[in-house]
């Protein structure tokens, strides 16, 4: 009986030891599997984290596997921001005058209204930065493998958002934040023109075409921040150009601006002469305080005729100087 009991206990002990060995083997196997899977899982996580997703001015989200190798820009403001961030710019807007030495070697690719698709294909950028008006041409560029991202510059805030967008796109967030911080500090710490807001008419001019810039335009935003009053703030928006309105001579005469500022893309003196010719045709213009006092100014085209990019604070200072001259 004792022998039988002993035999039974021995068998049970062997079974227990065998079970423990199996569990141990399983645990070791799991550990080995985990070791094998860890690098793969890490690699997958790295692949996901390296992707860059940005949302442009059109509200569209665009994903890039990594920072773009090259970019082209169709307006000077975007170009200015990209240069400031150290991006590899392979295409720039066609210039009508002298250009800075640092961008002379960059291929000209036309402008937002007349893009040069042949040159764009030649430089073949990874990304093209363009204003919303370029959408009608986007398909031609995207067929060549270039992604289009849209920007806007109807306010200082818009320009800062573009700086942030490019900083994210090229993984230069810290640099972009530094630029934006400088802009914000200069805007917030700068003083507006003392006294009552200066009644101002902002006129976008090209020979034969004159429109009033509204508060939702960049120049309108700068005027408000400088301490001016836009007398055309309630003029009806143009359907195709919602930042501008047709000139209402009757309302302008009624509101009698103290200063008139001209915005132009072209020859400033030619535009001023043409506008003065228009005023000569209507005797009522001569009685405006701005005209009688000689307070008709042409704004620098490099700061107001197009998006000034990081130089938007310089544009604000020019606006303040013009308003101060009226006091």
Lowest-confidence region among 71-80, 150-159, 203-212, 247-256:
203-212
Distance CA 62, CA 2 (A): 81
pLDDT, one tens digit per residue, over 230-264 is 999 999 999 888 999 998 888 999 999 999 999 98
**Domains in the chain with CATH codes:** 54-188 (3.40.50.1980), 192-324 (3.40.50.1980)
- Comparison of pLDDT for 310 and 17, the residue scoring more: 310
Q: According to the model, what pLDDT value does residue 15 have?
A: 44
Beta-strand pair 209-213/244-246: antiparallel
**48-53: long-range contacts at Cβ-Cβ below 8 A with a sequence spacing of 24 or more?**
52/168, 52/169, 52/171
The three-state DSSP-derived secondary structure of 187-234 is: HHHCCCCCCCCEEEEEEEEECCEEEEECCCCHHHHHHHHHCEEECCCC
Average of per-residue pLDDT across 186-213: 86
For residues 265-274, average pLDDT: 73
User: Is pTM beyond 0.85 here?
Assistant: no
Q: Where are the alpha helices (DSSP H) in the chain?
A: 2-50, 76-84, 117-123, 138-142, 156-169, 173-189, 218-226, 249-255, 268-281, 289-292, 312-324
Residues 6+ positions from 303 with CB-CB distance below 8 Å = 311, 314, 315, 318
Do the Cβ atoms of 129 and 73 come closer than 8 Å?
yes
pLDDT above 70 as % of the chain: 83
Q: How confident is the model at residue 281 (pLDDT cuts 50, 70, 90)?
A: confident
């Amino acid at each position: 009986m004792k022998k039988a009991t002993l035999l039974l206990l021995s068998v049970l002990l062997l079974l227990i030891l065998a079970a423990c060995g199996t569990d141990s083997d399983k645990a070791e196997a799991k550990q080995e599997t985990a070791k094998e899977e860890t690098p793969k899982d890490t690699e997958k996580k790295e692949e996901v984290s390296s992707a860059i997703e940005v949302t442009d001015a059109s509200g569209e989200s665009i994903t890039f596997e990594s920072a773009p190798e090259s970019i082209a820009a169709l307006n000077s403001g975007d170009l200015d921001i990209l240069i400031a961030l150290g991006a590899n710019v392979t295409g720039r807007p066609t210039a009508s005058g002298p250009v800075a030495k640092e961008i002379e070697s960059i291929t000209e690719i036309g402008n937002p209204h007349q893009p040069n698709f042949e040159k764009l294909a030649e430089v073949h950028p990874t990304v093209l930065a363009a204003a919303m008006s370029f959408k009608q041409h986007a398909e031609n560029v995207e067929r060549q493998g270039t992604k289009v991202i849209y920007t806007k510059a109807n306010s200082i805030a818009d320009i800062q958002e573009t700086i942030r967008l490019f900083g994210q796109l090229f993984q230069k967030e810290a640099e972009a934040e530094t630029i934006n911080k400088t802009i914000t500090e200069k805007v917030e710490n700068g003083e507006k023109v003392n006294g009552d807001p200066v009644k101002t008419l902002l006129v976008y001019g090209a020979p034969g075409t004159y429109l009033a810039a509204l508060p939702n335009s960049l120049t309108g935003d700068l005027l408000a921040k400088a301490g001016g009053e836009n007398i055309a703030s309630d003029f009806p928006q143009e359907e195709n150009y919602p930042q501008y309105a047709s000139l209402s001579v009757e309302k302008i005469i009624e509101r009698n601006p103290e200063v008139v500022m001209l915005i132009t893309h072209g020859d400033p003196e030619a535009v001023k002469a043409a506008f003065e010719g228009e005023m000569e045709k209507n005797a009522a213009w001569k009685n405006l305080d701005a005209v009688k006092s000689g307070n008709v100014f042409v704004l620098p085209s490099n700061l107001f005729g197009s998006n000034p990019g990081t130089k938007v604070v310089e544009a604000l200072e020019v606006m303040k100087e013009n308003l101060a001259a009226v006091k």
